[in-house]
Amino acid sequence: MTSYSLTPLARIDVFQIWVRIANDSEAAADKVEQAIYDACEFVAASPRSGHTRADITGRNLRFWTIPRYPNYILVYRPDTVPLAVIGVVQGKRDLGRVVPSRRH
């Protein structure tokens, strides 16, 4: 198991995603939640896999679209140990509005 941590804001993101999906199906919410944690494991093992987004932030952040659920994007700091996941955002949201407000 590779080491990563979710910031308090990222934990809230995961919880809110789960609740939103669980309103329709708890089983589906569990699958999405597991895919998020699997993606966290992946980027922790390969932190340079994500993309930088100079159009959104100059901070040292990377973005990884969750393959099975491309509506969700991990935002993480590749230079931290353990790797810090600072957010899990829905891709339809304006990342430029979300990311600058994130603290780590």
Domains of the chain listed by start with CATH number: 4-93 (3.30.2310.20)
pLDDT of residue 91: 75
Q: What is the DSSP letter of 99?
A: G
CA–CA distances in Å: residue 91 to residues 12, 43, 64: 16, 18, 10
Q: pLDDT at residue 104 above 60?
A: no
Beta bridge partners of 90: 72
What 9-17 contacts at long range (C-beta under 8 Å, 24+ apart), as own/partner pairs, is 9/86, 9/87, 9/102, 9/103, 10/85, 10/86, 10/87, 10/88, 13/87, 13/88, 13/89, 14/88, 17/72, 17/88, 17/90
pLDDT of residue 83: 96
pLDDT of residue 30: 98
Lowest mean pLDDT among 22-26, 62-66, 72-76, 92-96: 92-96
